[in-house]
Structure 1
Amino acid sequence: MARRTKAEAAATREALLDAAEEMFFDQGVARTSLEQIARHAGMTRGAVYWHFKNKADILHALLDRVHMPFEELIDEIDDPQLAASSPLETIRLASHHALARLEQPRHQRVLSIIIHRCEFFGDINPLQMQEDLARDCYQSLHKHFTRAAEQGLLVDNLSPAMAAHLLQSTLAGLVHDWLHNPEAFSIHRRGCAMVDTLLGLLQASPSA
């Protein structure tokens, strides 16, 4: 019985998050109440408070459902040659994988909520959430670009820090443009081409 109750509680929590995701995306975080989320999920407001403290708690839970740190993206890549690949190839494959995930509806909606449909109020600071995501991405990119530099794979006078900033800024600009009109282009196809082009420019020429 306890196991069934735990499973039911988990299902309730997921249903509430699904409802919150739809409401936040449709009308914004500030304009959505906990009562509306409960009604949309076909539940009571008490069910919401059982699982979440407030809207900020719900928002962070939504982000946790889709956020995958760069290192976890690498672990998820199904490529037997990955362990033997260069740091630049690891960055390329992980970036491609991340771009493919962004085209999944849930990932697109949550990212759009954080960037375009969330205002400052109460315990919610959307800029801080965006900065935290950017910092995590930069730190992982910097680590792999540092390995690339140690192996002589980067062009002369290009620091790992600058390489990480260049790639992160390229991806951030691409995501920003895409979220304004996701139907205009495939972020996966365009993003993969941009990542490959940029990494080609950053990579040192093979020794003669």
Structure 2
Amino acid sequence: MIARISGTLINKQPAQVVVDVQGVAYEIEISFNSYCQLPEEGQVAILHTHFVVREDAQLLFGFCGLEERSLFRVLIKVNGVGPKLALAILSGMDAHSFCDCVNRQDSATLVKIPGVGKKTAERLVLELGDKLSSFQTSDNIAGQVDAVKPTLFAVSAQSEAESALLSLGYKPMQATKAVSAAFKSAPNGSCQDLIRLSLKGMI
């Protein structure tokens, strides 16, 4: 079991990063919440990991916080929810909002996350209803993101934000509409700011 990775951040994207550990580069799948907490490329990154071995692949999932990894491990125990979908859920909303939806039995909001259908949303609410008490008073993961400098090129930030949403599973029309709305409320926002506002607006 690989429990933690610490090394130089070579490349980072909203859904995946590459970390160099003494000459060995690891591709690690991440959630958008963790992406927002990463340092700049070239700096040291520390990720708590969950290693998945399948017949056709070996996958490494990384999280900036132990709490998010714990919730990930709870999610993949739900019938029909694999690692990829669990990561999509954690990218679509932060831990606090997800737990709130489950506690309120709000499957309608969960359905708005790419990849989560009606049956899956109902199953999440049913199976996790009494298993998330340890997360109820936890801090909002997305709220712990360090402030980033405003971009000098708003058009570039919008384009990057749209690409990020597409990589998270949203449709082109959804991404464009959400980012445009986010840009109106934060015209000087960075790519990360626009993505956060876009996700918030779609949930």
With the shorter chain as reference, the TM-score category is: under 0.3
Higher RCO (C-alpha under 8 Å, 6+ residues apart): 1
Q: Which has the higher helix share?
A: 1
TM-score calculated relative to the size of structure 2: 0.24
Q: Which has the higher strand share?
A: 2
